[in-house]
Amino acid sequence: MQFEVVVDRTERVQKCTILPLAYRDDFEIRRVRRGAPVEPLTGDLLLHPDGESLATLGPRLIAAGPVGRLSAIDCIWKQLDGFLSCIGRPLPQPAAIPPGFVTAYPRKNKVDLDPDGGLATIEALFIAAAFLGVWDETLLAEYYFGPAFLEANREVFARYGLGPDAPEPADRARRSGLIPERRRAAGEVDRRTAGQQPRRLGIAAQDPLQRRRVR
């Protein structure tokens, strides 16, 4: 899986959970100034709290085929609306982190006003990747609070059936009824229904967030 992250140019490396990953081949990081136009995102999904929960969206996507690219915006929550307005359309399909996860990142603001429990961007990407069939703890290699994050959410991941020892993605999708039980080879979809399954939920033709007000 590839990751595409738009990062506020004023973000400092010491406090950012994304910039330390710039050396990775699976990360494309775009540092942008507030108010500056941004080229359209190329991800299949965009992490956004107004999107469909990955708890329901993930199994459908896995049944259709692996998600190749995940997009996210790394900025202060109150600035998200401004960043979104500068990104070229169409936006990728929005996808939301399911409830229950907590951040391990220490924050000065103890009042939980942020969506998704105030998760750090790398925490949200890790969770999203897990729901999309990729459990990759190397994503947390540069995140000081990575071990604490995994421990704090161990039971939540287990409740959603996610983890290093969880069933394979195709098995989870099959249990959800999205891939028929009867198959001829590992990962093969029944030919009678294969034609009805889209390869992937594509990027929406219209702005998928226009119907919902960005908080």
Q: How does pLDDT run across 16-43, given as a tens digit for each residue?
A: 999 999 999 999 999 998 889 999 999 9
Q: Is there a domain that residue 63 lies in? A: yes
Domain ranges, residue 40:
2-164
Q: Tens digit of pLDDT for each residue in 112-129? A: 455 555 899 999 999 999
What gap in Å lies between CA 191 and CA 89, rounded to an integer? 36
Per the CB < 8 A criterion, the answer to whether 128 and 71 are in contact is: no
Q: Is there a domain that residue 78 lies in? A: yes
Phi then psi dihedrals of residue 167, to 5 deg:
-60, 155
Q: Is there a domain that residue 33 lies in? A: yes
Q: What are the DSSP calls for 183-196, one per residue? A: -SSTTPPPHHHHTT
Q: Is there a domain that residue 192 lies in? A: no
> Can you tell me the mean pLDDT for 45-52?
95
Which residues have a Cβ under 8 Å from the Cβ of 28 and sit 6 or more positions away?
Answer: 2, 3, 4, 5
- pLDDT of the residue at 129: 98
Residue with tokens 């100034």: 33
What gap in Å lies between CA 91 and CA 85, rounded to an integer? 10
Q: How many folded domains does the chain comprise?
A: 1
Q: Is there a domain that residue 212 lies in? A: no
* Residue 86: both structure tokens together: 């500068």
Residue 86, SS3? helix
Which residues have a Cβ under 8 Å from the Cβ of 167 and sit 6 or more positions away?
Answer: 161, 175
Q: Is there a domain that residue 211 lies in? A: no
Confidence of residue 81 (pLDDT cuts 50, 70, 90): confident
Biggest alpha carbon–alpha carbon distance for the chain = 55
- pLDDT of the residue at 210: 52
Q: What is the mean pLDDT of the chain?
A: 81
Q: Is there a domain that residue 151 lies in? A: yes
User: Quick one: three-class SS letters along 105-137?
Assistant: CCCCCCCCCCHHHHCCHHHHHHHHHHHCCCCCH
